[in-house]
Amino acid sequence: MSVFGRLNYNFDSSKFGANNELTDGQKLTLNYPSPLYTWQASDLAGSSVVNYFQNPHSANLTLMTTYTNQLLTYSNTQSVTYNVAPIEANTLNALANNLLIEISSFTDHTNRMSGVTESTNKLTIPDYQIAMSIGRQVLQICNQVDGVQNNAPILGNFTSLAIVSDVSNSVIQLSSSAATLNASLSIVDGNTYSDITRASMNTIIASTQTAFDLLNSRRVGDTTFYTNSISLIQDYNTILQFSNLGVNSSYLIKDLGIGTTKLQNDLQNSVPSGYPNNAYSATTTRSTTSTSTSSSSGSLSVSGVIPGSYTLSNISVDAYGRVVSANSTDLIALLNSIGTANAEILLAYAARDAAEAAAANSANSAADSANSASAAANSASAAANSMIVKVVSITSAATITPTIDTAEQYQVTALATNATIAIPTGTPSNAQRLLLRIKDNGVARSLIWTTSAGGYRAVGVSLPSSTNASKVLYVGCIYNSNDSFWDVIGVARGA
C-alpha cells in the first residue's frame, strides 16, 4: 500500500476540474527529496508506526518486583515469628512496601523517558519528546550565557536511563537478600519461625534501602531538572522580550514610564556596539542578473531586530534577505500547541501571573500614596507576619514528603502505617530550617529515613527508627547546601 492509499480516497477527481491540478510553481515547491528513509516510508504506508522504543530497565524492574515481593512476604510478622529481630523485620516490611511503590513509579517514569509512553501533563511530568525539545533550548541558553559546550543540559533529564548497571546490581543484592531471609525460615507445628540475626537483617535492610534510594533519587532528579529547565526557559523568554523592543513597547517603557528605573538603566546601557544612533554603514552586493552584480555603499536603517538567538522563532525576511522581525514562541504556547498540556493548568498559570501582577501594582500604588505612619504600620505588620510559622499538615502517608517551599513545620497527625521520610520537595536554601512533627494513630510505626544526597543526615543525634505509640515526635533539621543534606540536629519525643 502507498502512503496516499492509507487515506481511502474514493472520489471522482474530475469533479474538481482544473482546481485539482497543481501549477508549475506548486510542483516546483514539492519537488524535493523525501526526508524519510525507505523503511520509514514503508512503515508509514503500512500504518505500522509503532514498536520503536523500549525501556532498558524493563527486565531488571520485573525481577526487582519479584524479589521485593518475596522480602515483603518473608518479613511479615503477622505470619512469621522472628525470635531475634522482630523490630528489624517490621522495618524491612515497611521498606519493602515502599520499594514496591517506588518501583512502580520508576517504571512509569522510565517508560515515559524512553519514549514507550507519553506524559499527560508536560508542564510538570517529562517524557522523551518534550524533554529533548526543552533540553535543546536549555543547551542553547546555557551555551550563550555560561559557555556550556556539552550535552548535560539535555541529558540531565534522562539520568534514570543511565543507571542500568546500578539497577542490575541492586537486583542481585535483593535476590541474595530474599534467599538469605527465606533460608532462615523454619516451620514447627505449622508455625513459621526465623532465628535470623539482627546483623543479617540490618544488612538486608541496607541493601533494600540502597535500591529505594537509587530509583527514587534518579526519578526525582530527572523531574526536578525538567521543571527547573522549564522555569529557566520561562525566565529567559521574559528577559528576551527586552532584546527586541518595538516602537510601541519602547514608548511605553521609556516615555510613559512603565519600565522600572532598573529596566530603563539596563536598556540604556545595552545598546549593541557598532550600531550608533540606530543606523549603520554597510556595503551591499546583490545579483542583478545571472551574469553580473552591482555594488553600492550607503546608510541603511537598522531593521530593529537585535542580534541574538530566538526560541522557536517566528522570522520575517525582506526582499533583500534582511531579517526585519523576529520573536520567540512562548513556552506555554508551545506545550499547548502539541495538544497535551492540561488546560486547567494553563489557566492556573495565567491566573497566578495575573494575581501576581495585580498584587505588584497594588503594592506599588500603596507605596506611592502611603505616609510615614502607614509605612510604619506596614513594617510592623510585615514583622509580625514574618514570625508566623508556615505549617503543612497531613493525616497519614506511607511516604512522607515535606514540602519545603510551603512549610517550615511539616506535621503528620495520625500516622497509620510504617513510613519512609522522603527527600523534601522544593528548592532549599542554605541554613533553611525544617521541623517535622510526627504522631501515630495509637500504634508505634517504623520510620525509614532517606539518607542519600538531598535527604537526611544525623549530626550529634540518631535518626529515630520508629514513633512511640500516641506520643509526638519532633525532628529538627537545617539545610547544609555545601553537602546537599538536611542535617538533623535535634530529636525530641513526648513523655
Q: Is residue 386 part of a domain?
A: no
Q: Is residue 84 part of a domain?
A: yes
Tell me the three state secondary structure of residue 430.
Answer: coil
Domain count, the chain: 2
Last residue of a domain, one of 224, 241, 258: 241
Q: pLDDT tens-digit profile of 169-206?
A: 999 999 999 999 999 999 999 999 999 999 999 999 99
Contact in structure between 208 and 92 (CB atoms under 8 Å)? yes
Predicted pLDDT of residue 105: 97
Mention every residue, 6+ apart, whose C-beta is less than 8 A from residue 318. Answer: 303, 324
Predicted pLDDT of residue 31: 66
Q: Is residue 271 part of a domain?
A: no
Predicted pLDDT of residue 385: 46
Q: pLDDT tens-digit profile of 26-64?
A: 777 776 667 788 888 899 998 888 889 999 999 999 999
Predicted pLDDT of residue 491: 85
Predicted pLDDT of residue 304: 57
Last residue of a domain, one of 183, 213, 241: 241
Q: Is residue 182 part of a domain?
A: yes
Predicted pLDDT of residue 372: 42
Predicted pLDDT of residue 405: 87
DSSP H helices, 188-330, are 198-240, 247-250, 261-268
Q: How many C-beta atoms surround the C-beta of residue 39 within 10 A?
A: 8
Last residue of a domain, one of 241, 267, 294: 241
Alpha-carbon gap, residue 196 to 71, rounded angstroms: 14
Residues of the chain with pLDDT under 50: 272-299, 338-355, 357-358, 360-377, 379-387
Q: Is residue 246 part of a domain?
A: no
Predicted pLDDT of residue 308: 60
Mention every residue, 6+ apart, whose C-beta is less than 8 A from residue 236. Answer: 141, 311
Q: What are the grid coordinates assigned to 398, written together?
A: 506511607
Q: Is residue 320 part of a domain?
A: no
Alpha-carbon gap, residue 407 to 387, rounded angstroms: 13
Helix (H) or strand (E) holding 354: helix 343-369
Predicted pLDDT of residue 306: 60
What pTM does this model have?
0.55
Predicted pLDDT of residue 495: 64
Domain with 116, as residue range(s), is: 58-241
Alpha-carbon gap, residue 476 to 462, rounded angstroms: 12
Q: Report the candidate in 493, 464, 478 with the shortest Cα–Cα distance to residue 400.
A: 464
Predicted pLDDT of residue 75: 96
